[in-house]
Structure 1
Amino acid sequence: MKADEFDEGSQAREVVSQLDAPDFDIKQARQLYKDLPLDRKNEISLTQAEYNKLRSGDKGLVRDDLENWSAWSPPYVAAGITSADEVSTGLGGVPIISPGPRRYFQFKVDYLSEDLFSAKGIGSLSFDFSRPVLATEIVGEITPRQAELGQKTAFSLAFIPNMRPEVDQGFSSLEISTPVKVDAVDRIGMSLPDGSRLEQDFSDSDLSDLPVERGDFRIDLVEEHRFQISFPKVENSRIEAGQMTVLEVAFQCVVLRTGTAFSSLALSETPGEVPQRIVGGNVFDLSRAGANATLIRNPGNLVVQVEKKGDLLININAVPAIFTPNGDQINDSAQIHFDITDLISGANVGLRIYDLSGSMVREIYRGVDQSGRFTRTWDGTDGQGNTVPPGLYIFNIDLDTDGGKAEASGLIGVAY
Structure 2
Amino acid sequence: GTANIYLGGLYNIDRLRVISGFTDPGRTVGILRVHIGPRPIVNYGIVPPKSPWIVEVRDNREQILDIPIPSHEAVEFVQVALAEHNTDWEVNEIEVYAKGFVKQATYISDVIDFERPMAWGDLRWSGVQESGAQVLIRTRSGLDDDADVFWRFTGRGSKAEVSRAGYSGLKLNERAGITHDLDHWTFWSAPYDFADSSGTPVVSASPRRYFQFKIDFLPREDAGGRVGFVELRASEPVATNLVGEVWPVEAKVGQQSSFTYALRPTIHPGDVGFDQLEIETSSIISAVEAVRIGDVPVAFTVEAEEPHRLAVSFPRLQEQDSGTLVEVDFAAQVLRYGAIFAAQVSDSDQPLEVPQGVNPGDATTKYEGNRVSVATAAQEQRLLQVRVEPTIFTPNGDGRNDEIGIFYHILEITGSAQVAVEVWDLSGRRVRRVYSGADGIGEYEREWDGRDEAGGLVPPGIYLYRVSVDADREKVEKTGVVYATY
TM-score, scaled relative to structure 1: 0.51
Query: 2:314 is matched with which residue: 231, 237, 246?
Result: 231
Distance 1:256 1:116, change over 3 A: closer
Give the RMSD, CA atoms, in angstroms.
3.7
Q: Does the alignment pair 1:73 with 2:197? A: no
Residue 212 of structure 2 corresponds to which residue in structure 1? 106
| Greater fraction helix | 1
Instruction: Describe the SS at the equivalent of 2:279.
Output: strand
Closer, same or farther: CA 232–309 of 1 in aligned 2, 3 Å: same
C-alpha distance in 2, partners of 1:198/1:407? 45
Query: Given the alignment of the two structures, is residue 284 of structure 1 paired with residue 284 of structure 2, yes or no?
Result: no
- Looking at structure 2, the residues matched to 116 and 262 of structure 1 have their Cα atoms a distance apart, in angstroms, of 42
* In structure 2, C-alpha distance between the alignment counterparts of 1:265 and 1:235, rounded to whole Å: 16
The one-letter amino acid of 2:164's match is L
Q: Does 1:306 align with 2:376?
A: yes
Answer yes or no: is 1:46 the counterpart of 2:164.
yes
In the alignment, does 2:130 pair up with 1:130?
A: no
Determine whether 1:222 maps to 2:305: yes
* CA–CA distance in structure 1, aligned partners of residues 212 and 306 of structure 2: 34
Asked whether 1:190 is paired with 2:273, we answer no
Quickly say closer, same or farther: Cα 1:53–1:244, change in 2 above 3 A: closer
- In structure 2, distance between residues paired with 1:237 and 1:112: 51
Query: Counterparts of 2:223 and 2:340 in 1: how far apart (Å)?
Result: 43
Question: Contact 2:240/2:267 (CA < 8 Å) preserved in 1?
Answer: yes
Q: Give the Cα–Cα distance (whole angstroms) in 2 for the partners of residues 110 and 24 of structure 1.
A: 37
Per-residue CA deviation, residues 123-146 of structure 1 (Å, 9 max, x unaligned), is: 122111102x11111110111101
The residue aligned with 1:256 is 335
How far 1:57 sits from its partner (Å)?
Answer: 1.0
CA contact (8 A) 1:79 1:94 kept: no
| Structure 1 SS opposite 2:205 | coil
Distance 1:123 1:21, change over 3 A: closer
Residue 230 of structure 2 aligns to a residue whose secondary structure is coil
Matched residues in 1 for 2:351 and 2:254: separation? 37
Residue in 2 that maps onto 1:199? 297
Change (3 A) 1:407 1:306: closer
TM-score (norm. length: structure 2): 0.44
Q: Structure 1 pair 20/51, CA: closer, same or farther in 2 (3 Å)? A: closer
Q: How does 1:235-246 map to 2 (within 5 A)?
A: 235-236=318-319, 244-246=323-325
Kindly state the Cα deviation for residue 405 of structure 1 after the two structures are TM-superposed.
11
Structure 1 contact 161–237 (Cα < 8 Å) conserved = no
Determine if contact 1:187/1:249 at 8 Å carries over to the other structure: yes
Aligned: 1:273 with 2:353: yes
- The alignment partner of 2:177 has SS state of coil
**Deviation per CA, 1:297-349, whole angstroms, max 9, x where unpaired?**
x9x61010004859xxxxxxxxxxxxxxxxxxxxxxxxxxxxxxxx9879xxx
C-alpha distance in 2 between matches for 1:143 and 1:20: 47
Aligned counterpart, 1:397? none
Identify the residue that residue 61 of structure 1 maps to in structure 2: 177
5+ long unaligned stretches in structure 2 = 1-151, 382-421, 430-467, 475-486
Q: What CA distance in whole angstroms lies between the structure 2 residues aligned with 1:143 and 1:117? A: 48
The 8 Å contact of residues 292 and 327 in structure 2, kept in 1 or not, is answered as: yes
Task: Write the distance in 2 (CA, Å) between the matches of 1:117 and 1:284.
Answer: 52
Distance in 1 (alpha carbons) for counterparts of 2:223 and 2:333: 52
Q: Residues 2-32 of structure 1: CA distance to partner in whole angstroms, max 9, x if unpaired?
A: xxxxxxxxxxxxxxxxx99767954xx56xx
SS of residue matched to 1:273: coil
Following the alignment from structure 1 to structure 2, what is the Cα–Cα distance between the partners of residues 163 and 249?
Answer: 19
Instruction: Find the counterpart in structure 2 of residue 153 from structure 1.
Output: 257
List runs of 5+ in structure 1 lacking aligned partners. Answer: 1-18, 31-43, 82-91, 192-196, 201-214, 289-295, 311-342, 347-401, 409-416
